């Protein structure tokens, strides 16, 4: 491709709203252009890289028995109503009506469509196991798109679906995906770890996320270096410190003027924060018989801990959570800053599972300026739900070995789910087993977003000058530059001939044939980030050579003109081998 014909141009400055390197560089290098919040066009350079990433996915899916198909982006709402997700998912779902006034859905994922196919196509155990996949557009109306391609509303995803007759079959396909995903990321030049994660709207019994560790990540992970335990903070467990057992003391009302925070309360009473109870007020949207009902939730955690909203959402089986307003809090008889569940009625009370083991806590008295001493669960109030609803943090003890854990941030670049029979039972996807009995098909779901993967690779591979693409992902393998100088004809003819020879050798080449200064051309080459650079100039031709440089190295080398094609092939092979060496078997941790 000639840069004089390339659609898209490089920019000197990044857009004002670009905060992270990958967003800035992908825009400046002409890879992406924003249409609207969270909606981007992949320009020709990006499309080439995305195609390479998607082909890596295809190869790894095919290697574990996958069959590629293409499923629709638009779904009839009836499918999502059959599984219940139409009612469970909030405003992120794209809903619209067609011209016949039928409710339709923009695909967030494709479990419903797969299940609909399965109930029409699968009838016998002899047809199982099966693995199908596609690479297709998705829509999730994220209220806070950010960071370029990292968090978008419209995106392309490789999603695969395993279909099995037995739970052992699901385990096998799940573990096959676990390794295949590591292969995909390693081949893309991206280091990742796998952590246990929340099943979220997907449901099922188990999920893992593949995390690219970076300070810009939105996810917080808890890791144990001693035993290897790892989990997203959304679901991470930890060993909670249990207070010494005390006999319940009489409840006592005490004045605490102008004391509204746990910190102030502990200091005022000269007690540790773990001897207090913290109240959090939320409104939960809960689906009941396909109707969404808003319920006031009074969540209680110990004062030395923080509420984990994901855990609370799962405990409530809620569609969405939002903070309660002051008016809503007062309406149930509670007082902000001085609230407790003691004496309240008609509220949904959820307590963390350490609360029943913590005696004589200080909690609000539901009266301005007053708290209760010696509040005890069971005697003074009871909960509708007792569950683990607190967030793990730095130095909390590992739930497996008790070693202190540490936190690190990451970007989720892939996820895998053991769905089980959730969707097959909802849509009637059954098969006849060997004994002639009808059983539900056992499903798994596995996804990777290609755009987020591209951005993460860019985040990992760049310097102050621009992108540094791995050979497997780069839009072109070689960036050819011509510096005409005074004797333009000789340099021009040599560069044109070399351009044709490189293409005929099967090497992907981007030819900067523009009438620009050497500084502009070199800066653009560094910005775009193709792995190998070849420069044809009068100075090099005077030595019957061309200048060669790897993008990831500072050294420049003069290579004889007649040897440059073999040298490029050798360099490409070396870069490919560097990537190949990163492909390793990864032990599965459940």
pLDDT of residue 196: 86
Distance CA 192, CA 185 (A): 7
356: domain CATH number is 3.90.960.10
Residue 395 counted as domain residue: no
Question: What backbone torsions phi and psi does residue 340 show, to the nearest 5 degrees?
Answer: -155, 165
Task: Note whether 258 and 381 are same-domain residues.
Answer: yes
pLDDT of residue 320: 85
Task: Note whether 359 and 423 are same-domain residues.
Answer: no
pLDDT of residue 581: 92
Task: Note whether 335 and 444 are same-domain residues.
Answer: no
Task: Note whether 330 and 443 are same-domain residues.
Answer: no
Residue 46 counted as domain residue: no
How many domains are there within the chain? 3
118: domain CATH number is 3.30.930.10
Residue 4 counted as domain residue: no
Residue 377's domain spans which residues? 252-387
pLDDT tens string 309-332: 999 998 998 888 999 999 999 999
pLDDT tens string 118-172: 999 999 999 999 999 999 999 999 988 999 999 999 999 999 999 999 999 999 9
Angle formed by the axes of helices 167-187 and 44-63, nearest 10°: 140
pLDDT of residue 200: 65
Give pLDDT < 50 ranges for the chain. Answer: none
Residue 245 counted as domain residue: no
Task: Note whether 70 and 173 are same-domain residues.
Answer: yes
pLDDT of residue 201: 58
pLDDT of residue 345: 80
Distance CA 534, CA 481 (A): 6
Task: Note whether 532 and 481 are same-domain residues.
Answer: yes
Residue 363 counted as domain residue: yes
User: Tokens standing for 95?
Assistant: 């809903």
Task: Note whether 272 and 383 are same-domain residues.
Answer: yes
550: domain CATH number is 3.40.50.800
Distance CA 8, CA 527 (A): 14
Residue 242 counted as domain residue: no
Residue 18 counted as domain residue: no
Task: Note whether 531 and 418 are same-domain residues.
Answer: no
What DSSP state is assigned to residue 352? E
Task: Note whether 227 and 298 are same-domain residues.
Answer: no
Task: Note whether 92 and 224 are same-domain residues.
Answer: yes
pLDDT of residue 203: 60
Q: What pTM value is reported for the model? A: 0.88
Residue 44 counted as domain residue: no
Task: Note whether 343 and 256 are same-domain residues.
Answer: yes
Task: Note whether 340 and 371 are same-domain residues.
Answer: yes
Q: Is the peptide bond prior to 129 cis by the omega test (within 30 degrees of 0)? A: yes
């Amino acid at each position: 491709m000639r840069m004089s014909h390339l659609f898209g141009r490089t920019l000197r400055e990044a857009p004002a709203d670009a905060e992270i390197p990958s967003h800035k560089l992908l825009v400046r290098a002409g890879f992406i252009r924003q249409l609207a919040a969270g909606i981007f066009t992949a320009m020709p350079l990006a499309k080439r890289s995305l195609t390479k990433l998607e082909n890596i996915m295809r190869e790894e899916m095919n290697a574990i028995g996958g069959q590629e198909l293409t499923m629709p982006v638009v779904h009839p709402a009836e499918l999502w109503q059959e599984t219940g997700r139409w009612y469970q998912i909030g405003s992120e779902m794209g809903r619209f009506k067609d011209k016949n006034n039928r409710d339709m859905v923009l695909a967030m994922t494709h479990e419903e469509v797969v299940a609909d196919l399965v109930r029409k196509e699968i009838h016998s155990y002899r047809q199982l196991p099966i693995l199908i996949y596609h690479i297709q557009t998705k829509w999730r109306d994220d209220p806070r798109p950010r960071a370029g391609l990292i968090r978008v509303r419209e995106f392309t995803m490789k999603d695969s679906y395993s279909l099995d007759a037995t739970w052992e079959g699901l385990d096998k396909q799940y573990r096959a995906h676990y390794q295949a995903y590591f292969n995909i990321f390693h081949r893309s030049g991206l280091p990742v770890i796998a952590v246990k994660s929340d099943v979220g709207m997907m449901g099922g019994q188990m999920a893992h996320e593949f995390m690219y560790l970076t300070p810009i990540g939105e996810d917080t992970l808890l890791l144990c270096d001693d035993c290897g335990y790892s989990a997203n903070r959304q679901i991470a467990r930890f060993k909670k410190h249990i207070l010494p057992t005390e006999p319940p003391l009489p409840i006592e009302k005490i004045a605490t003027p102008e004391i509204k925070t746990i910190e102030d309360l502990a200091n005022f009473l000269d007690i540790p924060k773990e001897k207090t109870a913290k109240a959090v007020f939320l409104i939960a949207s809960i689906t009941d018989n396909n109707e969404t009902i808003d319920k006031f939730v009074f969540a209680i955690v110990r004062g030395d801990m923080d509420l984990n909203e994901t855990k609370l959402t799962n405990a409530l089986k809620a569609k969405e959570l939002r903070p309660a307003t002051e008016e809503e809090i007062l309406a149930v008889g509670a007082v902000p800053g001085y609230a407790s569940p003691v004496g309240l009625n008609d509220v949904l009370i959820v307590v963390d599972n350490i609360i029943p083991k913590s005696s004589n806590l200080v909690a609000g008295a539901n009266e301005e300026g007053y708290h209760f001493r010696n509040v005890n669960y069971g005697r003074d109030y009871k909960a509708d739900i007792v569950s683990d609803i607190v967030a793990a943090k730095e130095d909390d003890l590992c739930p497996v070995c008790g070693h202190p854990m540490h936190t690190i941030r990451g970007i989720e670049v892939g996820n895998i789910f053991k769905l089980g029979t959730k969707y097959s039972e909802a849509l009637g996807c059954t098969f006849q087993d060997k004994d002639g009995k009808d059983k539900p098909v056992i499903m798994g779901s596995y996804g990777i977003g290609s755009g987020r993967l591209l951005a993460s690779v860019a985040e990992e591979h760049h310097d102050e000058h621009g992108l540094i693409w791995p050979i497997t992902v780069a839009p072109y393998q070689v960036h050819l530059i011509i510096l005409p100088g005074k004797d333009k004809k000789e340099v021009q003819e040599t560069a044109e001939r070399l351009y044709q020879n490189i293409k005929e050798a099967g090497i992907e080449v981007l030819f900067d044939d523009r009438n620009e200064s050497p500084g502009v051309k070199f800066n653009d080459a560094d910005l775009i980030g193709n792995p190998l650079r070849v420069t044809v100039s009068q100075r090099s031709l005077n030595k019957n050579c061309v200048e060669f440089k790897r993008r990831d190295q500072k050294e420049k080398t003069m290579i004889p003109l007649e040897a440059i094609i073999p040298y490029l092939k050798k360099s490409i092979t070396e870069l490919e081998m560097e990537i190949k060496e990163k492909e390793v078997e990864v032990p599965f941790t459940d």
